Amino acid sequence: MTTQAKAAGSAAAAAELGYIAGMTWGWTGVRGTWEGPEADFSLSEMAKLNVGWTAVTLGALQATAQSTEIEYWNEPTVADDEVRSAIRRAKALGQKVCLKPVVNVADGTWRAHINFFDMDIPGEPTWGQWFESYARFILHYADIAREEGCEMLCIGCEMVQADKREAEWRALIAQVREAYSGLVTYNCDKYQEGNVKWWDAVDLISSSGYYPIDQWEEQLDRIEAAVAPYGKPFFFMEAGCPSRDTSPARPNDWSLAGRPDGEAQRAYYEAMFGACGRREWVRGFVLWDWPARLYAAPDAAANDDYCMYGKPAAQTVKDFYGSRREGLMDKQAWLHELQQELQDNILGFWQTHALDELHGGFIGEMDSSGKVNPEADKSLVLNARILWTFAAAHRRTKNSQHLALAERALEQLRTVFYDELHGGFYWMATPDGRPSEDKKQVYGQSFVLYALAEYMLATGSTAELPLAEETYRLLERWAHDPVHRGYIEALARDWSETDDLSLSGKDLNERKSMNTHLHVLEGYTNLYRVWPSDGLRDRLRELIELHLERILDGETGHFKLFFDDEWNSATRDVSYGHDIEGSWLLCEAAEALGDPELLKQTERAALQMAEATLLEGVDEDGGVFNELHEDGRLDDSKDWWPQAEAMVGFLNAFQLSGEERYVQAAERSWSFIRQHVRDEDGGEWHWQVSRDGRPDRTQVKIGAWKCPYHNGRACLEALHRLESLTKEDALA
């Protein structure tokens, strides 16, 4: 692609740019400060202010204002690995990134005073020498910006004397466009918007908006007149005010004497946002600034710098950015896509392809090409999940075909899987309906309860309540641990002890597991909605408390996975899909229980888990990794079900917090599903895709674990939550 074509493409992208709700992060970029828990915490806290753009900003030094070598490879400048890591972590939080390399002068001279003779003088340093070094500096970071997918590159900041060198800047921009195809901007200094004569060469015009609190209207009139002739989008690449009582009158002076005053800073932001918010041509801000290592929150009142962390201005920024953020998917469009996906690609697939016309019920297995394995056993989990899915669909659609499929699954549970002698349900059955694995896996019994309750909610009939009550009482009699609480994994057919505890070939053979308890919680929650008995209420409370006290690691925000009887953890593996799924299922349980204090505890835990998943478990493309093993190995493949649960879990986190980065994460989950997980040709969803989005076609399309429950439920939940949010928007 030619330089001209790249410029044209960038110009088109700039014209379609939404509001830039940005923050400067990491200045000055001191080596060794951009990685680790403190840096992660800083980025995470910044994102909570509805920030959608991060300007990853670093400084490199030249010795004096007349030096011609910029030593960007030397300390204290952050190392390239730190720069790349910061970009990736910002993107994992759903941020767009502008990479902003800035030159500074080591002796303390402000970079605006970097200057040389207008013409080359023998024996004197020249502009040509300086721009040669500056080009190497900027092009180095242009390469990083390209390789890491940065949406924007800022090629300079507040170079007042250098601004006059029009030919050199145009030549540099042409070089940049050879290396980088994203948006290009230049950050001129305050009051200098009319002095740059080469604005036509960049994609966006930006400046430093450090104007006195009472001069915003006057300065905006001046800026508009200066930039309007270029027809380029304009935003403030820097703007802000220290939290100091004297600073609103002189916000650019970071050394101005005064006392700490958070309200003065808040008032400045309100005035700035108020004035600029009335000017449609102002397309946003990248506020100054947010350090890589924050001060402690209790010290915020005594801090008088620009950062608004823990100060009154933080809420002002959050509210303004929340009202201005664009670029999220239109809710109506999202609702339409979800409805179509549910009806046509999920429910329609199972209605058409999953019926066992020979033996009744549903087939046991189909490969990714659509070939049925007639010898595959039938799974209790698969059939219970089919019952739940079509009952839940009928609750929404009132479609008689959905009810018929639910009743078909219910008939299979009663005639094929139910143990007439001992009660409960077999784990597996042969294609013709005989038990092939007759143990009583507590996980499976829980899904029966989940499904029976959903069927009762869908039909209004309580005909299945005696069976549900019987199953619940069997679990309480034989599986519940009265000493240490919780439930053991499995029992023999007659409910006696068994050594065969594991849920699947990949699970540890331990007495208790997170997975089983999460789904007992799920089943008991749904059952409580139709049968709110005192005993069930007590057990549901116990399950919520167990998740908060024993299963959730309060330090990491991750579930522990396997335990002995006394809740000693057997592994430190992390399952990102279960974390984000559990975050919203716990909230559902606490809401059903109706205890306000327990609900508050659960919501705090849910946000902690959603945050941990977003920070650690979400790839740059929005996909959720499978697992992190305790030895540090990452299973970076992406199964279908964590993607489904992420969409719901992040929507839930948004509803709890109001932080748009969560709804953006949910949208990115949906985008990843649409692009990589749903099977455009064969219908339904692929079981697994690789990190780069290639489907694993060796995995089945229908099987003991591959069912319509995760993706069908995700669509139903997302529809419900988005409809609720749309209604709230209409009432606001």
Q: What is the pLDDT of residues 301-360, one digit of tens each?
A: 999 999 999 999 999 999 899 878 654 567 888 999 999 999 999 999 999 999 999 999
Crossing angle of helices 216-227/262-277, nearest 10°?
40
- Distance in angstroms (rounded) separating the CA atoms of residues 329 and 664: 9
Angle at CA of residue 284, ends 280 and 285, nearest 5°: 145
Average pLDDT, the chain: 95
Structure confidence at residue 15 as a pLDDT band (50, 70, 90): low
Higher-confidence position of 4 and 332: 332
- Distance in angstroms (rounded) separating the CA atoms of residues 712 and 27: 45
Query: Looking at the predicted structure, is the pLDDT value of residue 191 above 70?
Result: yes
Q: Diameter of the chain by CA atoms?
A: 104
Instruction: Look at residues 230, 227, 192 and name the one whose alpha carbon lies nearest to residue 210.
Output: 192
Give Rg (Cα) of the chain: 30
- Distance in angstroms (rounded) separating the CA atoms of residues 127 and 114: 10
Q: How many Å separate Cα 581 from the centre of its chain?
A: 13
Percent of the chain at pLDDT > 70 equals 97
Strands 558-559 and 552-553: antiparallel
Q: What is the pLDDT of residues 446-504, one digit of tens each?
A: 999 999 999 999 999 999 999 999 999 999 999 999 999 999 999 999 999 999 999 99
Range from 109-123, 537-551, 715-729 carrying the lowest mean pLDDT? 715-729
Mean pLDDT of 120-139: 97
pLDDT of residue 327: 47
Side-chain half-sphere CA neighbours of 514 within 13 A: 30
pLDDT of residue 666: 96
Instruction: Quote the tokens at residue 680.
Output: 């455009």
Q: Where are the alpha helices (DSSP H) in 398-513?
A: 400-412, 442-459, 465-474
pLDDT of residue 2: 58
- Distance in angstroms (rounded) separating the CA atoms of residues 293 and 397: 51
- Distance in angstroms (rounded) separating the CA atoms of residues 619 and 364: 33
Q: What is the pLDDT of residues 148-189, one digit of tens each?
A: 999 999 999 999 999 999 999 999 999 999 999 999 999 999
Range from 380-389, 434-443, 481-490, 498-507 carrying the lowest mean pLDDT? 498-507
- Distance in angstroms (rounded) separating the CA atoms of residues 518 and 447: 11
Instruction: Quote the tokens at residue 648.
Output: 């719901």
Domains of the chain: 3-235+287-293 (3.20.20.80), 331-731 (1.50.10.10)
Query: Looking at the predicted structure, is the pLDDT value of residue 1 above 90?
Result: no
Task: For 438-458, give one letter per residue: b (16+ CB within 10 A) or e.
Answer: bbbbbbbbbbbbbbbbbbbbb
Instruction: Look at residues 698, 694, 649, 700 and name the one whose alpha carbon lies nearest to residue 670.
Output: 649
User: 10 Å Cβ neighbour count for 28?
Assistant: 18
Mean pLDDT of 671-676: 94
Name the DSSP letter for residue 30.
B
Q: Which residues on neighbouring strands pair with residue 538, listed in sequence order?
A: none
- Distance in angstroms (rounded) separating the CA atoms of residues 416 and 721: 36
Where does 239-332 show beta strands of DSSP type E? 282-290
Side-chain half-sphere CA neighbours of 624 within 13 A: 34
Q: Say if residues 23 and 46 touch (Cβ distance below 8 Å).
A: yes
Query: Looking at the predicted structure, is the pLDDT value of residue 283 above 80?
Result: yes
Structure confidence at residue 9 as a pLDDT band (50, 70, 90): low
Q: Say if residues 234 and 228 touch (Cβ distance below 8 Å).
A: no
Strands 183-188 and 204-208: parallel
Distances (CA, A) of 16 to 9, 11, 183, 326: 11, 9, 12, 11
User: Residue 156: phi, psi to the nearest 5?
Assistant: 175, 160
Instruction: Look at residues 303, 302, 300, 239 and name the one whose alpha carbon lies nearest to residue 271.
Output: 239
Name the DSSP letter for residue 118.
S
User: Residue 287: phi, psi to the nearest 5?
Assistant: -70, 150
pLDDT of residue 18: 87
Structure confidence at residue 94 as a pLDDT band (50, 70, 90): confident
pLDDT of residue 11: 57
Q: Say if residues 442 and 477 touch (Cβ distance below 8 Å).
A: no
Mean pLDDT of 683-706: 97
* Residues whose CB is less than 8 angstroms from the CB of residue 66 and which lie 6 or more positions away in sequence, other chains included: 114, 115, 116, 125
